Chains A and B, each alone.
Chain A
Amino acid sequence: MKKLTRLASSSLIAAAVVASAVITVQSQAHGIYFAQRARQLALIYGIGSEDLDMAKRVPLLNSVTGYDADWNPVPTRLRIAGPIPVVESDAPTTAVAATMDYGLWSRTADGEWHNKGRDEVPGAVFAERTFKYTVHLSQPMKHEVPLLAGHRLQIIPVGTDIPVEIGKTISVRVMFDGKPFAGAQVLPDFVNDVDMPPLMTGPDGVASFRLRNQGLNVIAATIVTKPDQPKKYDSIEYRATLSFVLPHAPE
């Protein structure tokens, strides 16, 4: 399959080398994720309970893809429905995904963010380049989540059995450029507890934690690396989310 690269075996090397490039900065914290809105699957831009205007940000998306249970592509797109973009596919999907290049952002001393590089913002005290990725699982998995084309940072559940009860432990592996990433910051609950101290992935790129919600779970992973254009920005932030729903009990 052209678009997909199967998850490599778990020989977990190189992660430490990549991790050494990580730097810590204060950066923008928003992410993208899929969640149900009015019966449809919507793409959300936000953090915590903030659900910001994703419709105007749709042009920043690089890809929106859908997959069936065998991870074959299903023609999928977004449709702007009032203030939110919703997923529209030609057939049922087991998973959907999106990637976004959120561009260059510089912060000035007054705390304002500007959508430009440091070289274009006099007095900038910090500048970053940001990329956002998301994967949503809407059905039980027959196969492990593969590496998806275009998702430089991706959260992959270990195995195929995501627990369906709150409080059960899940393990996820954070992959960067196809390799397990040690030292990624992981937030188990990006919607309801975004300020908790993040977990860090181990040498194998894995973090384990208890599922927080008998409902929507949005897990976030973030890495920040050194810039490839230091005159324009100080760092590059990659943020990936993985979302899925634990169903509630019968009414």
Chain B
Amino acid sequence: MRAPFLLFALVSLPSAALAHGSTQPHHGGTLVMVDGEVQVEAVRVPEGLDIYVSEEDQPHEATGLEGSVVVKDLPASRVALTPMDANRLRAAGMTPAAGQTIIVTITDKATGVRSFATFQY
């Protein structure tokens, strides 16, 4: 069935429908699938924004990642990600406002592979 697919493709041409792994959030947040197989979930917490990273449903060790979170078009808002536990990193103090677009940058320290996940609040 093509019609619904076309609409989706207009939203996200490169990564549309390439999911390898669940697209459902596991921590009560919002999940974005990036690069076809990396799941990035953003969860609001009192301390800021927690980011969970998995690859094909396998949690990615947080200590093996580095990155940042920034409000689009507000470079001064950039907050470095801090590994917390398991596959959870935290952007302390990041509190997205309604209407803002948040860009999460994650780099695998071992491979140098960088991924971007975009969240619309």
A88 x B114 contact (CB < 8 A):
yes
Does any Cβ of B come within 8 Å of A5's Cβ? no
A39 x B37 contact (CB < 8 A):
yes
A247 x B13 contact (CB < 8 A):
yes
Known: A138-B13, A140-B10, A164-B9. A248 touches B18 (CB 8 A): yes
The bracket for how many chain B residues form the interface is 20 to 34
Count of A-B contacts judged by CB separation below 8 Å: 64
A139 x B38 contact (CB < 8 A):
no
A247 x B103 contact (CB < 8 A):
no
Contact residues of A between 81 and 95, Cβ < 8 Å to B: 81, 86, 88-89, 91-92
Does any Cβ of B come within 8 Å of A57's Cβ? no
Chain B residue at minimal CB-CB distance from A88: B114
A245 x B112 contact (CB < 8 A):
no
Taking a contact as CB atoms closer than 8 A, the residue among A36, A40, A92, A164 that contacts B13 in the complex is A164
A224 to B19, CA, bound (A): 43
Chain A 234-251 against B: per-residue CB contact (8 Å), 1 yes, 0 no?
000000000011111111
Contact residues of B between 2 and 31, Cβ < 8 Å to A: 2, 5-6, 9-20
User: Which of B9, B14, B113 has most chain A Cβ within 10 Å?
Assistant: B14
B103 x A91 contact (CB < 8 A):
yes
Does any Cβ of B come within 8 Å of A165's Cβ? yes
A248 to B36, CA, bound (A): 12
Query: What residues of chain B lie closer than 8 Å to A244, measured between beta carbons?
Result: 13
Does any Cβ of B come within 8 Å of A79's Cβ? yes
21 pairs across A/B with beta carbons < 8 Å?
A: A36-B14, A39-B38, A40-B35, A40-B114, A88-B114, A91-B116, A92-B118, A137-B13, A138-B13, A139-B12, A164-B6, A164-B9, A164-B10, A245-B14, A247-B9, A247-B15, A247-B16, A248-B17, A250-B5, A250-B17, A251-B17
Q: Which residues of B are in contact with A by a Cβ distance under 8 Å?
A: 2, 5-6, 9-20, 35-38, 103, 105, 111-116, 118
